[in-house]
Structure formats: structure tokens, C-alpha cells
Amino acid sequence: MTDYSTIYQQLSQLAILTEQTGGMPAEEIRLIKNSSLLDIVLPGEALDFEQDNTAALLAHLKDVGRSNGAIGRIYEGHINTLFLIHLYGTAAQKEYWYDQVRRERKFFGVWNTDSTVGITFKVKPEQVIINGAKGFCSGADLVDFALIGGKTDQFSGTSDWQMVIVPMQQVEEFRIDRKSWEPLGMKASVSYTIDFSGIEVGHSTLLGQPGDYLKSPYFLGGAIRFAAVQLGMAESVYNKTLDFLRSLNRLEDPFQKMRIGKMAMALHSGQLWIKNAGQNFDDWKYTADLNERLVAYANMTRLTVEGICIEVLQLSTLCVGAKGLMAPGDLERWHRDLTFYLRQPAPDATLQNAANYLIHTDQPIESCLGLKPAIDEPSMMAASL
């Protein structure tokens, strides 16, 4: 695969400038648009969704997160949207939206969180009328197309979650509530609240059928993507911590060595979980009977990575003390951004769901974790004979 180290380095440098100016990461998005990162998962590209590339994709997302956490959050949404188009788009929709990425260099996002007033769609013969708002719209000022979900009773008198991809050129400035985003960290992800009420789009923007967005295993299984970004951010915290200690000539301190060792072990565990999550996703996604196992493993991966990130943040804090967490020091930003990004929905319910699968399955734990025996037992028995 192409070496993206230069782009990663540029994203890292731009993050510092964006933090200092308090602006939005427009230059970072422009950099991605001018690179092959934008279309990396499209047919024929390095991480083509048609191929079993999930482990490599997660490693790539981890690298983006390690370089720039806010961009990792926004970019994961771009990848997520393209994956949903890959899964549920018609041939005509794929041709159009893929062309928008390849030729027009358009950036996509996916926004799931309803604001106070949830999204509904009124489907008329000539158009679809949107009502309601979305919160936490990462990259609100930056994406060109946004996938949003909401309720509609268009199909068989039922009401279910329908996906619509909105051209953001139709979203006027007054609809974006910039005061809605005052977080502890991740400010550069510009995750504003947007009111879509009254916007009209064509039927061609309807992606898939009602209920497709929440289908198993792809919805919950997708947690491994943002977990990969988070792990990359934790790796950056580790690297920045070492840089700070090196600047003070404290790397030889025995207590610092213990903390550094613990951080390194935790991060390596996270790397193994992410790698296995990608491999298991590709091995299990085609088998309906394994969907529940895939979701359980994705949930465990998400929560394991969260715990690893928290451990790295705590150990880093002990390493650098108050002095190392002062603005405008770069490590202070990484701590804020990762701490905030780790606050994903329903961690307790996520753990219970994973445990519920483990409790009720009749499969051994090694199968649930996708582990393969180190020794082929039939061959071993034959050898003993």
C-alpha cells in the first residue's frame, strides 16, 4: 500500500496550527481531498471494500488518529458513509457518489445523533421533505454530503430508520448552530447541531430501505473503526509523553520506566485486538449465524480499547505531572481530545450485550475470540500413532 507517512506528518502539524488559531481544520480536509486517502476504499483502490481489507483499513484509521484526532473522527465518518453506500446503494447511486469522490473530490460524513427534535422524512411523489435536527455533526462546515437517518412511514405503513444523503450546499448558514459545540476536547471536529427542517431533496438521495442502517452486524460491528482511531490517539499520547520526558532528561528514572513499560504493553494489546477485529470481521461477515459473534467481538474490542486508552492517559498524567499538561503544550490537547472522544454511547449496555452472547453460546471461548489452535490436533494425533 502507498506510504502515507508524509500526509500523516502534515496532518499532525496542521492540528497544532488549527488549535492555536481556534479555527476549523479546513486545510486538513483540503489535504485529504488532494490525496488518495479520499477514495482509498472505492473499487480498485488500495482498501477496496469489495476485498477483505478490514484489518488494513483499521490500521490506516489508527494512523490517521495518531496524527490528528479531530480529523480521525471526521475521516472515519467519510469512510463509514462510503461503506454504507457500498452495502446499500443501487448501481446508479454508487456510480454517482463514487464519481463525486473520485472526480469531484467530495468529502462525506454520517451523522446519527438526533437533536432535541429528531429527524423525520415526508416522502412525496416528487421530493423528500426533511424535518428536525441532528447534533454532533462532525465536520459540519467541511463535508460536501451528509448521511442522516430518520423516521418515515413511506414503506408498507411502517416507520423505521431511513438513510438520506443530503448535499450540504443546500444547508444554509443559519441552520448551523455554532454555539452548540463547546466540548472539553475535539473542538476542531466542529461537531455542530444542524437544523434540516424544510430542506427538500430528490428520491435519489434515499439510501437503502428503512431499517438498513441499523442492520446487524454492520451497525454495531462498525465500532471497531472509531476504536482504531482512538487507539491511534493513545499511541500519540504515549509518543508525546516520551518526548516530554526526554526534554527533561527523565527517561532513565526507574518509576518513569515502569509507567512507560505499562503504556507500551497496553498499546500492544490494543493493536492485537484491532488486528484480530479486522480479521474476524472479514471471516464472519458473510455468515449470518456468526453475526452475533461478530457484534460481540466488536463490542469487546471497543471497550477493551477504551480501557487501554484510559490507562495510557492516566499513566501519561503520572509521567508528566501538571507541567506537562499545560497549554499551549501539545500533550494537553491530546489528553482533552482523547478523553472526550472516548465518551461513546451506552458502554454498560455494550458490555452486557457482549457478555450475553458469551453466556448463551455453546461455542468455546477461543472460537468466540476468533483464535485458531497453534497445533493442528488431527495432525498431532496422527503423529502420536
Summarize pLDDT for 266-276 with one digit per residue, the tens: 999 999 999 99
Q: What percent of the chain has pLDDT over 70?
A: 95
Residue 2 has pLDDT above 90, yes or no: no
Segment 102-123 mean pLDDT = 92
Would you place residue 381 in the very low, low, confident or very high pLDDT band (cuts 50, 70, 90)? very low
What tens digit of pLDDT does each residue of 138-166 get?
A: 999 899 999 999 998 665 445 588 999 99
Question: What is the Cα–Cα distance from 226 to 136, expressed in whole angstroms?
Answer: 15
| Closest alpha carbon to 105 in 190, 37, 25 | 37
What tens digit of pLDDT does each residue of 14-30 get?
A: 999 999 888 899 999 99
Segment 163-172 mean pLDDT = 96
Average of per-residue pLDDT values in the chain = 92
Question: What is the Cα–Cα distance from 83 to 218, expressed in whole angstroms?
Answer: 9
Question: What is the Cα–Cα distance from 317 to 312, expressed in whole angstroms?
Answer: 8
The b-or-e profile of 302-333 (16+ CB within 10 A means b, else e) is bbbbbebbebbbebbbebbeeebbeeeeebbb
| Closest alpha carbon to 12 in 232, 173, 204, 278 | 232
pLDDT of residue 371: 77
Would you place residue 380 in the very low, low, confident or very high pLDDT band (cuts 50, 70, 90)? very low
Question: Residues 201, 130: contact at Cβ < 8 Å?
Answer: yes
Question: Residues 79, 246: contact at Cβ < 8 Å?
Answer: no
pLDDT of residue 157: 45
pLDDT of residue 266: 98
Segment 77-94 mean pLDDT = 97
> What's the whole-model pTM score?
0.93
Q: Helix H segments across the chain?
A: 5-21, 26-33, 54-67, 69-88, 91-102, 218-221, 223-247, 254-284, 291-324, 330-341, 347-360, 365-368, 377-384
Domains identified in the chain and CATH numbers: 5-207 (2.40.110.10), 218-368 (1.20.140.10)
Q: What percent of the chain has pLDDT over 90?
A: 81
Q: Tell me which of 30-34, 200-204, 231-235, 328-332 is least confident.
A: 328-332
